[in-house]
Amino acid sequence: MQLMTTQALTGVKHIIAVASGKGGVGKSTTAANLALALAQEGAQVGLLDADIYGPSQGIMFGLSGKQRPEVRDGKFFVPLKAHGVSLMSMAFLADENTPVVWRGPMVSGALLQLLTQTAWDALDYLVVDMPPGTGDIQLTLAQKVPVSGAVIVTTPQDLALLDAKKGVEMFRKVNIPVLGVVENMATHQCSRCGHIEPIFGEGGGERLAAQYGVNLLASLPLAMSIREQADGGRPTVIAEPDSEIARIYQQMARCVSARLALSKQSAVMPSISVDED
């Protein structure tokens, strides 16, 4: 399998795919907060919104759909920046009210252009917010780009877990390490009485992680604040950095960083054997 190497990606140390088997499980919110949490740890971070049909990172980072990236040397987009993260999205190139009505090959081509024709700075991490499912874009990314690892996002609901399993299996088939599972909407706390209830089921993310021998990176509540802050262009890690939810995102980022460091170390360290004379 031949990997695409370009000038734009030579300074990117790790590419992290944030994926889900189905939509509506909080994947983009997870990708945004992961990128911001990694940046708060002192890393240089970029975020590529690879959901060509439904890009949302521009809104989450407070960038209007009317902002356009500059073009360098007639061929490279200069990513926009917000909250210390470099951003590139289809939303910056198309009218926000115009749908992208493209077939699979066109979408895959657009992904590669966004990825390889963006003038990324020297990055420790490039987080890729994937579209839901296991289709053309996922395969294109796996086959053309050296992805360091994937984060699978799900809810505890059985239907979401079924699709999340397919996501794990897909990355395994293309030899991309699954760094762990993020479980969103794990519990809901009533704002009136304080009662906590697992309305989408209980322990699903933990069971999925155990089944595939990976870490449960985070288990997050169904909280109005997460939604409001993302819609307002200031995700939780930025809006409430001292909150419990932000702490969970920070711990998730540290786990991802540690897993990548370990996988890189194991890949370059030679094995040592001692023969008894």
Q: What is the residue-wise DSSP string for 70-94? A: -EETTTEEPPEEETTEEEEEGGGTS
> How many other CB atoms are found less than 10 A from the CB of residue 165?
16
pLDDT beneath 70: ranges in the chain: 1-8, 65, 95-102, 104, 264-277
Q: What is the pLDDT of residue 7?
A: 55
Contact 238, 210 (CB under 8 A): no
Q: What is the pLDDT of residue 90?
A: 86
Q: Which of 128, 118, 107 is nearest to 52 (CA)?
A: 107
Q: For residue 202, what pLDDT is reported?
A: 87
Q: Tokens for 180?
A: 């762990």
A 10 A CB-CB count for 236 gives 27
Confidence at residue 9, expressed as pLDDT on a 0 to 100 scale: 79
* Residue 234 tokens, joined: 């200031």
CA torsion 53-22-181-40 (nearest 10°) is: 30
Strands 178-183, 149-154: pairing is parallel
Residues 6+ apart with CB under 8 A from 179: 16, 149, 150, 151, 214, 215, 217, 255, 256, 259, 260
3-state helix, strand, coil in the chain (%, to 5): 40, 20, 40
- The torsion region of residue 203 among left (phi > 0), alpha (psi -120 to 50) and beta comes to left
Provide the token pair at 141: 């990314």
Q: Fill in the DSSP letter of residue 271.
A: P
Give me the helices (H) in the chain, please.
Answer: 27-40, 57-60, 104-116, 136-144, 158-173, 204-212, 224-231, 236-239, 244-268
